[in-house]
Amino acid sequence: MKAMEVMSALSQPTRLKVFELLITKLPEGMAAGEIAEAIGTIPSAMSAHLAILSRAGLVKSKKVGRSVVYRADVAKARQLIEFLERVLPTQP
């Protein structure tokens, strides 16, 4: 797993909001326009955010009719948690 890429993708506030939103919309997912409207950003900016989340493996997309539906990939988030548990000390 590319932990730095995943953490970097989630470090930006809008992308973190998108990922959190998509977690709540599992398993259905949402179209980019719906995501942008739900978090209050413009659709053109949403494309860039979704591309970064996709490259990090946090979001998967699937064409459904004329729309593209985005879904959170919770397996990747779990991998990040497992990685952090391995590398962080158990005591301060």
pLDDT of residue 90: 78
pLDDT of residue 14: 97
CATH number (3.40.50.300, 1.10.10.10, 2.10.69.10, 3.30.390.30) of 3-87 reads 1.10.10.10
Among 69, 87, 90, smallest CA distance to 22 is for: 69
pLDDT of residue 56: 96
Rounded Cα distance between 57 and 60, Å, is: 7
Mean pLDDT per 10-residue section of the chain, whose length is 92 residues: 90 97 96 95 93 96 94 93 88 68
Terminal C-alpha separation, the chain: 26
pLDDT of residue 2: 86
pLDDT of residue 18: 98
Largest Cα–Cα separation, the chain: 52
DSSP 57-81: TSEEEEEETTEEEEEE-HHHHHHHH
Reported pTM: 0.90
